[in-house]
Amino acid sequence: MPLPSRLSSLIAAAGAVALTLPAQAGGGVSITSYGHSALLIQGGGATVLVNPFKAVACAAGLNEPRVRADVVLASSRLPDEGAAVATGKLLVSPGSYRVAGLKIDGISAPHDRVGGRRFGNSTLWRWQQGGLNFAHLGGTAGSISPEDKVLLGRPDVLIIGVGGGAKVYTGSEAAEVVRELQPRRVIPVQYVSGKTAPKNCDQSGVQPFLLAMAGTPVKRTGASVSLPGKLSDSTQILVMR
């Protein structure tokens, strides 16, 4: 190959690498749970915090996630899933964003089972980080529309509320969403982890969801887990508490 052509090829390849968003590059992520639906996701050169909370209602007794992140994704501005307790670029409203090398899409969906007439709308989030496609449905009880399903795609990691109550999927509802989206890994959130629910909490535990997903492998990871940039194709549930 003549030298000019070879140089052109090298320059083109270098340009393609430069155009790759760093947070979307492979390498995997580490995930830390703060309880309720707050997760800190680190990898690909970026840090994402989802659903920071005040320690009230179903989150009573938990340590608030007063941490620093590049971007904070909240399902809504309700204090148990969108509290301003962390440091970082807070995103709550639907739309398309680019933050810290991440391309993030927010999708509006009813927060409740009555078309948002009780709790308004929440925001579903999707993004790619560390080579993995994430979908965050941590604060909704509304059914997934065909349009939502197309926008969310097939997630590598699905974060989904399972504890029931007025604004979170029940275990059986969450299981139906999992069967629709067919994610590779599922992280259930928004459920009661103790023997009894805190005062003014209408949620239950994770067990109804696990029963509704009978036959799906379950791994109890504790408060943190590391995921590689490429996952096996079958669905696995990661219980992080």
Domains in the chain (CATH in brackets) are 24-239 (3.60.15.10)
- If we measure between CA atoms, which residue out of 178, 183, 182, 204 comes closest to residue 193? 204
What does the pLDDT read at residue 12?
45
Q: Please check the confidence at residue 25 and state whether its pLDDT lies above 70.
A: no
Looking only at the bridges linking them, the beta strands covering 46-50 and 121-129 are unpaired
Pairwise CA distance, residues 122 & 111, whole Å = 5
Pairwise CA distance, residues 71 & 52, whole Å = 11
Q: Please check the confidence at residue 19 and state whether its pLDDT lies above 50.
A: no
Whole-angstrom CA distances from 118 to 68, 81, 111, 115 are 32, 16, 8, 8
Element (H, E) at 179: helix 171-181
Weakest mean pLDDT among 23-32, 108-117, 145-154:
23-32
- The string of pLDDT tens digits covering residues 59-107 is 999 999 999 999 999 999 999 999 999 999 999 999 999 999 999 999 9
Residue type (1 letter), 22: P
Task: Note the pTM of the prediction, 2 decimals.
Answer: 0.89
